[in-house]
Amino acid sequence: MSISQRHGVLGIGRIGFVAVCLSAAALVPAVEAAAAPAGRTAAARPAVTPLPPAASPVPGRYRAVAPVRLIDTRSAATHPITDTVVSVPVTGRGGVPAAGVRAVFLHITAASVRGPGYLTAYPSQAAPSGSSTLNFVPGQVSSNNTLVAPGPDGMVALRFAGSADVIVDLLGWVTGGDPVPAGGLVPLTPTRLLDTRLHAPRLVAATPLVVTVNSPDLPAGASAVVVNVTTVNASAPVSAPVTAWPAGAARPRASSTNTAHGRPVATTMIVGLGTGRGIVFGIGGGASADLVLDLVGYVSGGAPTPGALVAVTPVRVLDTRATRRPLAPNGTVVLPVAGHAVPAGAAAVVVTMTVLPSSGGYLVGYANGDPAPGLSLLNPYTDVPAATQLIVPLGPDGAFTIRDVGGHFNVVLDVDGYQIANPLPLVTTPVLGQVDRTPLSGNDLEVLATTVLRTTNRYGLRTWWTGTAPGLLATPHGSNAQLDATDSIRRLSMEAFSLSVALATGAYDPAANATTASQATGIISQIVVNVACSHRANHVGGWGSSWQSAMWSSYAGRAAWLVWPGLAVPVQRCVQRMVISEANYIATLAPKYMMDRDGKVLTAGDTGAEEDAWYALAPALATAMMPTAEQRDVWRRAQQRMQVAAWARPSDVTSSATVDGTPLSQWLNGSNVQQTGVVVNHGRVAPDYSTNAYQNTDTLEMATLAGQPAPQSSLFGIGPIYDAFSTISYTPPLYATPGGHVYPDNSAQIYYPQGCDWGTGQQLPYALFDALAEVYNLNTEATLPPQAAALAHLNAAAAMQARTPAGAMYGSDTEYKYVGREEHTAQLAAQLYLAYFTRDRLTVSVIAQPATPSTRVAEPTAAAPPAASSEQQLYR
């Protein structure tokens, strides 16, 4: 193989007229926009203002996340033994912010137990308490949840007394700050409240045990306590249920944990405080046991407000023993609890799940309509019941689902509390009302861009809307549908986005489209209702939280945002919930890499560049639309993390150059692009996939439309990608004849060195990338000037549209075989027009973010599962 290249390609994209000068050493903010094109008078541009302060998170509020695995020592070279301390990074991972975290809620499992013992969870860099978090014995997989504060380094420490492997999963986190209002969750250093082995009578069936919580760490007025309850020395021979409830209330028909003869059982639970700051424990079945009780946190008291946790006297909502219908393998049960066991509108439910003995399988609980988590939340014992208490989000219908994965067992569910829902944040509409919105006509490129966009609008409204759209609107948008079904969401969203850009910027031509602007807005509304209101955040079993859903939701969300006042309030709420859900989902993901930090290929022939780039679209849109939302900074960090990873090259992994105040070496765990700027995908050099770098600049334009500064990550790395089109030469016979550059000199043709499995007739993606290279001054070494390349590719695209009266871009699959090629054309045309529009009519600004701490922030990992042993098949 012979690939020649020019030297000196920089590792950071370049930008001229916009607000920064980027170099390999630093990114320096400025604030000037380009002069108006010749022959035009510059209209007043809306000022770019700093991001307003995000709403301060209410201290002590619990935030559930999609369960994320943090560590699994089964796949490690060494395994914990007595006096081993395992450090678990928790902040900055899985949707948890890098700062402002009071506590995390963890699910800890002991497996491959090599001797009886226990482990203790505590803040890193602190002294371990004398309490145990989880007890384990050989032959059993044991687990418990815990509430624990991270240490100053963002870690939680696990100290072992005994030898076992440990698996730690993140379930949620608690916001920091003071004072903590009503319903806030506050962790405490574990303190022992009771040990009946030393100071009190055993817990016996005939006499419930009342415990008065007199800890000095518990403030007056606390409404509930978080306690770790351990039963020991249980009477033989059978297990017995143990129930906890507020003092002064009637004993509920519920259970909180269970005993096991010959071994301790630990369960962390939230229990409401009753009369005299008391909680009561009762044991059933004529049994007895010693009780060890540690206070690990509390829920603050007072009149609860949005986001608050509220403990209730436990109420049973399911007992499959009574229905005589145990869960079958992969069986599910849906529990509609909002408006029944808890108030209507609740966001989450505090539930104790108990599973009866089983030789295999595990149990998960999740919001109804969501995908089932891939991690176990409750593993059965083989001889006695096992229990755990979880805070489970509720679906749009106020229900949650439990699923039996691989087992066949009875399940008992008791509701112990709920979380009040938070209101939706405010939406900031685009600043377009302040600018000149006459159609672009400053030069030949702008005239062509206007023509191509208007032709896609004409085709969309006169042909697509009556011929193709009805079938797409009728396609079910379920989360379990195949991509060819859910791809209808993408196609609808792209078309709506194109129409909304034309309407919002003034490019729309009602006469040519035979559709008024009001009617076109109505069509956008129909599409948005179909797409956004069928999202899983709004509809049980809807689409979302999947491979391309961040991209789909971005197009639908932007389509709605650009015509926001024209949408009914219920539709706006559907859009907000969709955008928030997708942004929160992306915040839990780690970037994809083709190569690791050492250059080892992880996915041969398959870059993660375009996926990381489209992942960034959802949090970027959420930030643009809702800049004062509490999650704003988490969203922006997720956007930056994905964008820096998307187009990173091997040299970037060790670079000290900073992007948004953080060195590249701290951002990156790998790379996705060859050092030359060449993108490889589908097992070949893939020029079409190089053009997906436009997704990074999409986010810059979102910020511009909102009147916000964009993060520097929006332009990172894409300059060398564009340069490679005209600076890298491919030589036959290893590459297809005639060889040469992707951009042959003075030609609109695209050379594909190894062919293209999507068809070789696309022009518009290249015209868009050319426009971006000109608008944002991306290229430093391209031998074909981007203006000339854009003119060639835009003329070719316009000529393709002119081949038929309807204005379709493509004539056959040979040119482009994607079934949604005309909708994709509409999307690309809108983004091309928007690039020139933002340059001419708006103020584009890229401002460096404050530097982050120099310590490396651990990113979420997506490690391959270890080889399964017989025990691992029981636990996941």
pLDDT recorded at residue 185: 96
User: Tokens standing for 253?
Assistant: 């028909």
Q: Are residues 454 and 325 in the same domain?
A: no
Single-letter code of the amino acid located at 321? R
Single-letter code of the amino acid located at 662? T
Q: Is residue 79 in a domain?
A: no
Q: Are residues 336 and 296 in the same domain?
A: no
Count of beta carbons in the 10 Å neighbourhood of residue 182 = 17
Q: Is residue 147 in a domain?
A: no
Q: Is residue 121 in a domain?
A: no
CB 379 within 8 A of CB 386: yes
Which H/E stretch holds residue 532? helix 517-532
Domain count, the chain: 3
Q: Alpha-carbon distance 676 to 309, whole Å?
A: 53
Q: Alpha-carbon distance 307 to 185, whole Å?
A: 10
Of the candidates 302, 330, 353, which is a domain's last residue? 302
Q: Taking Cα atoms as reference points, which of 643, 655, 579 lies closest to residue 608? A: 643
Of the candidates 363, 389, 424, which is a domain's last residue? 424
Q: Are residues 319 and 248 in the same domain?
A: no
Single-letter code of the amino acid located at 419? Q
Q: Are residues 490 and 635 in the same domain?
A: yes
**Domain harbouring 554, CATH code:** 1.50.10
pLDDT recorded at residue 607: 97
Q: Are strands 658-659 and 662-663 parallel, antiparallel or unpaired?
A: antiparallel
Q: Are residues 417 and 430 in the same domain?
A: no
Q: Alpha-carbon distance 256 to 314, whole Å?
A: 9
Q: Are residues 289 and 356 in the same domain?
A: no
Single-letter code of the amino acid located at 160? F
Q: Is residue 108 in a domain?
A: no
Divide the 876 residues of the chain into consecutive groups of 10 and give the mean pLDDT of each group: 30 31 30 39 76 92 92 89 93 89 96 92 91 90 94 96 94 95 95 90 92 93 96 87 95 93 92 96 92 96 95 94 90 95 96 90 92 89 91 96 92 96 96 92 95 98 98 81 71 98 98 97 98 95 91 98 97 98 93 96 96 98 97 94 98 96 96 97 96 96 96 96 95 95 89 95 97 91 89 97 97 93 98 96 76 35 33 32
460, 511, 815, 825, 831 from 802: Cα distances, Å: 15, 18, 15, 14, 20
Q: Are residues 643 and 573 in the same domain?
A: yes
Q: Are residues 642 and 749 in the same domain?
A: yes
Q: Are residues 215 and 345 in the same domain?
A: no
Distance of CA 274 to the CA centre of its chain: 39
**Domain harbouring 322, CATH code:** 2.60.120
Q: Is residue 175 in a domain?
A: no
Q: Is residue 705 in a domain?
A: yes
Q: Is residue 615 in a domain?
A: yes
Q: Are residues 624 and 519 in the same domain?
A: yes
pLDDT recorded at residue 479: 58
Q: Is residue 627 in a domain?
A: yes
Q: Which domain holds residue 193?
A: 180-302
Q: Are residues 378 and 234 in the same domain?
A: no
Q: Alpha-carbon distance 813 to 360, whole Å?
A: 50
pLDDT recorded at residue 374: 87
Of the candidates 286, 302, 318, which is a domain's last residue? 302
Q: Are residues 442 and 375 in the same domain?
A: no
